[in-house]
Amino acid sequence: MRRGYLEFLFAVSLVLLCVNTDADAAGHNLQGIVGGSVRIRCGLDPFSGFNGLYFQKKSSEGQEIFINGYYDRPLTVLPEYINRTFFNKTDLSMEMTNLTLSDEGDYLCIFICNGANCKETKFYLTVTANYSVPVLEVQGCRSGPGAHNCAISCSSSGGHPPSSVTWGVIGNKTSSPITDKEESVIIQDVNSSLWNVSQTVRLNCSHPLNITCSVGGVVSHAVSVCQDPDTQDKHVVVVCAVAVLLLILTIIIIFVIMSRRIQIPAETPPSTDVELQNLNSRQAG
């Protein structure tokens, strides 16, 4: 009985310990997007008695690079950071703007007490870039004899990290209509280090389908494919009829406006001569 109670206490304290560590780790992971900005806050818990604070970054070679901060003497900020890091003494934070992919990495806040490091806080900054809205290209996707040639490709660019293509199909009742998926093509741009992603799939066009694709969480517009060619033709006819109607309307409106413009100088000013003539002719008649 007693032992069970102790075991229970032990389990509870273990759980509490785990919850604490998790919350701590989550608070120190920061996210930013390319071109955006991020604020790194060092004053997470109350702490005083320091006379300096350094923001540092761990380079890929493991060296620590001073970014910004303050001390009782002026500190030299690297040109790379001087116009895009802003130190705030009030809330002990640093804002970094114009983020690039190379800003991703480990950061340290180092508090200085009487010339020595007295407290450190670690951060990890992840920098991502949003993919463009994926574009779908459709080839040969009418139902009927050409159905087995239906191919759809999805492409998106300028994202980070690399991502795969996810397909969304609405309208399939039983099995998936995707008969073949080509390998995704994932290419990194040499200059920007951002990724371009594309993939082509083939469809069984036996039913009308609405297709979307998504890359890195960004979803394309839906396209309707494998429709009855008759209904497609009907749509074309309706669109053409509306276009012709609009054209005729426009011509009529232009005609009316033009004829009004031409009439205006004829109506005003009313010429006294003409009125006199009218009078004369009426009296004569």
**Whose Cβ is closer to ligand NAG: residue 53's or residue 197's?**
53
Beta bridge partners of 218: 215
**Whose Cβ is closer to ligand NAG: residue 83's or residue 164's?**
83
**Whose Cβ is closer to ligand NAG: residue 178's or residue 186's?**
178
Whether the CB-CB separation of 153 and 130 falls below 8 Å is answered with no
Burial category of 60 from C-beta neighbours within 10 Å (exposed 0-12, middle 13-18, buried 19 and up): exposed
**Whose Cβ is closer to ligand NAG: residue 162's or residue 208's?**
208
CB of 171 to ligand NAG, least distance (A): 3
CB of 268 to ligand NAG, least distance (A): 55
What is the CA angle 59-60-65, rounded to 5?
5
Sites of contact with ligand NAG (CB under 6 A):
79, 82-84, 88, 90-91, 98, 170-171, 179, 204, 206, 208-210, 224
How many angstroms separate the CA atoms of 122 and 112, rounded? 15
CB of 110 to ligand NAG, least distance (A): 20
**Whose Cβ is closer to ligand NAG: residue 122's or residue 221's?**
221
Burial category of 9 from C-beta neighbours within 10 Å (exposed 0-12, middle 13-18, buried 19 and up): exposed
Beta bridge partners of 178: 203
Residue nearest to ligand NAG (CB): 171
CB of 170 to ligand NAG, least distance (A): 4
